[in-house]
Amino acid sequence: MPLSRAFFAIVRRDLLLALRRRSEIANPLLFFVLVISLFPLGLGARPQLLQAIAPGIIWVSALLAALLSLDSLFRSDFDDGSLEQMLLSPHPTSVLVLAKITAHWLVTGLPLLLIAPLLAVFLGMPQAAIGVLLLTLLLGTPVLSLVGAIGVALTVGLRRGGMILSLLVLPLYVPVLIFAGNAVAMASLGLPITAQINILIALLLLALVLAPWPAAAALKMSVN
């Protein structure tokens, strides 16, 4: 089987499995919506404050929702033995890992991207900043999946690796959170955001190139 066909076969398989287990799609999305909805209730009728902190609220919620969904990236494959078959494949493991990360982002990151504009309007975010918010989510959420895959690969063999996973990946998520949130906040004030967007693009390219290899190596160590 050609490598490109194997890549898309894994993506298709993971998407079909996610559709059969709809909780994998619904849980992060509901968590994202609920966390953002609670802030107006907690802060009260203070629209100016909500508008000011809306970028941080949305991005912190997206980060936590991504973290919530990470454990499912390799867990089911590890439990049913299909992960071992993937590692024994003649194709490069890093490419197959990238296929699983792609499917994971389509299941968890893309729904957040689609619903974020409604929540931004709910928080009173200026219209000019909503487009920037979508751009930062488009650039940043794949980085969360790529970096998180390394942590999941290291902890997939542990029965209770959720806490360790959080400790491993949360510090690595901080740069994305800082630059993405700052870009949306600057756009709300009408200030230039070229530097922040360029940094997010650089982070995405670095993660796309570098993350699959350590994730593949960590999976081999975890399985062995």
Least confident residue range of 47-51, 109-113, 190-194: 47-51
Comparing 116 with 21, the larger pLDDT belongs to: 116
Report how far residue 199's alpha carbon sits from residue 177's, in angstroms, rounded to the nearest whole number: 12
* Confidence at residue 179, expressed as pLDDT on a 0 to 100 scale: 93
Q: What mean pLDDT is predicted for residues 140-160?
A: 86
Report how far residue 219's alpha carbon sits from residue 152's, in angstroms, rounded to the nearest whole number: 9
Report how far residue 154's alpha carbon sits from residue 208's, in angstroms, rounded to the nearest whole number: 18
78 has a pLDDT exceeding 80? no
Q: How far is CA 10 from the centre of its chain?
A: 19
Q: What angle do CA 174, 212, 143 make, to 5 degrees?
A: 30
Helix axis angle for 127-155 and 212-223, nearest 10°, is: 30
Report how far residue 218's alpha carbon sits from residue 198's, in angstroms, rounded to the nearest whole number: 30
DSSP state of 105: I
Model confidence pLDDT, tens digit, residues 151-180: 888 888 776 666 777 788 888 899 999 999
Q: What angle do CA 92, 97, 99 make, to 5 degrees?
A: 100
pTM of the model: 0.89
State both tokens at 88. Answer: 């024994």
- Measuring CA to CA, how many Å separate 145 from each of 73, 106, 117? 9, 10, 21
Residue that has been written with the tokens 């000011």 in this structure: 52
76 has a pLDDT exceeding 80? no
* Confidence at residue 147, expressed as pLDDT on a 0 to 100 scale: 92
Least confident residue range of 65-79, 135-149, 166-180: 65-79
Model confidence pLDDT, tens digit, residues 111-125: 899 999 998 888 888
SS3 1: coil
206 has a pLDDT exceeding 90? yes
User: Is the Cα torsion angle 128, 204, 179, 144 positive or negative in sign?
Assistant: positive
Using an 8 Å Cβ cutoff, are 47 and 122 in contact?
Answer: no
| High-pLDDT (> 70) share of the chain, % | 97
Q: What mean pLDDT is predicted for residues 101-115?
A: 90
* Confidence at residue 135, expressed as pLDDT on a 0 to 100 scale: 93
